[in-house]
Amino acid sequence: MNTKSLILVLAVTGMSFSAIAQKSAVNSAKSDYESYSTLRGASPQLAAPKLKSAKESIDKAVLHEKTKGDATAWAYRALIYADMVATDSTSAAEQLASEALSSLNKAKELDAAGAQKENIQRATALLSQAQLIRGKNYYDKQQFAEAYKEFNKGLEYAPADTTLNYAAAISAMYAKDNASAIEKFKALLPTNYSSLENVYSNLSVLYMQQGDTTNAIKVAGEGAAKFPKSSELATREIELSLMSGKQKEVISKINDQAAKDPNNKLYPFYLGIAYNAANDNVKAEEAYKKAIAIDPNYNDAYINLGGLIMNNGIEIYNKANKLPANKQAEYTATMKKAMAEFDRALPFLEKSVELNPKSELGLRNLKTYYSIKQNKAKEAEIEAKLKAL
């Protein structure tokens, strides 16, 4: 009877020692890791062995029957492996990161009470920071596809990390992976990311590159509404609208921007384009002249203004030529009016060529003038310049 009792006591005691031994392994790992954390900044050489011994202890603990379900063990394993990832620049880092992530997920699963919340957050921050550094190393070398991969990997650990998300988006954009860049930029729109203005701007450009004009204008407009002080977003919405044939729709927006920035030559220039598209040539001419008043050397404004007046003259010229033969007096008066418009356009046509002698459009407009005026010498002179281009 006593023997049986002794054997039973010994058996129970043996079980207790085993459980205590594994708890001790967890505590040892914790102690060594905290020592490592304290020493790594001041003395990396002394710190390294502590991290190694912490790994050895925690690997045993998470395999043992008595502690494999311990949230503390898995949380510290995530921490230890995360720190190993941060200090490893070899190909082994990827496997270490995989172990850290699986440990992190296991700790979250077991930590129902939230006792390991702080350690889980620490491990997550370490892993995401390590990926941020690895991604930046590739980014600095302009290896953008590799940078995107590393930044994107970081989002597995910290899906809500806006810095990683933005870095992934920019890397994908430079790697010409527009689909991934759009996906990452779109994920940032509902956030309060500090560079959200740039997100709207880049996303709009990417949509335009994809040929999605509708979304390009929509995003630029949303960005301009969210950041009313951003002239870049407002200008982009205006430019994209002008390019896509929505000139009439943005007249009021151009006027709003012109009022905010009256010394910006772009806005009256854009108004000229928009009014021209709306067949309001009087306002278009007025707008182009305003752009020139802001910048007397604004070549594009001279080209458009000269072309606008020339087109007015051509319309009148064609109208005269459609008159019947018995309306000679009206024909003469109408043709005189057309020639007056051509002559009114000449100073702007000449100025555009003076400002840019190699402008094909400017030269062709001027050639049209001399062709109408039947000045063969001048026409031939300009044709030679066009051929020389």
Torsional sign, CA 365, 368, 372, 378: positive
Q: Chain centroid to CA 262: how far?
A: 29
Burial (CB count within 10 angstroms: exposed 0-12, middle 13-18, buried 19+), residue 143: middle
pLDDT tens digit sequence for 228-278 = 988 889 999 999 899 888 888 899 999 999 999 999 999 999 999 999 999
3-state secondary structure of 228: coil
Answer yes or no: are the C-beta atoms of 280 and 288 closer than 8 Å. no
Q: Is 235 helix (H, G, I), strand (E, B) or coil?
A: helix
Distance CA 275, CA 258 (A): 14
Residue 244 · residue 213 · CB < 8 Å: yes
Q: Which residues contact 335 (CB under 8 A, 6 or more apart)?
A: 317, 320
Please report the DSSP string for 169-211 in residue order.
HHHHHHTT-HHHHHHHHHHHTTS--TTHHHHHHHHHHHHHHTT
> What torsion, rounded to 10 degrees, do the Cα atoms 196, 118, 103, 112 define?
-110
As a whole number, mean pLDDT of residues 302-331 equals 94
* Distances from the Cα of 380 to the Cα of 65, 311, 351, angstroms: 96, 22, 19
Give the torsion through C-alpha atoms of 137, 138, 140, 141, to 10 deg: 120
d(CA 234, CA 322): 45
| pLDDT recorded at residue 44 | 79
Per residue in 151-160, is it b (16+ CB within 10 Å) or e — as a string? bbbbbebbee
* Across 378-383, average pLDDT: 94
Q: How far is CA 343 from CA 178, 255, 314, 373, in A?
A: 50, 31, 12, 10
Rounded Cα distance between 260 and 43, Å, is 58
pLDDT over 60 at 16, yes or no: no
Quote the pLDDT of residue 23: 62
Question: What pLDDT does 346 receive?
Answer: 96
**What's the pLDDT at 150?**
92
Q: What token pair was written down for 269?
A: 């220039």
Task: Say if residues 366 and 382 touch (Cβ distance below 8 Å).
Answer: yes
pLDDT classification of 20: cutoffs 50, 70, 90: very low
The pLDDT > 70 percentage for the chain reads 94
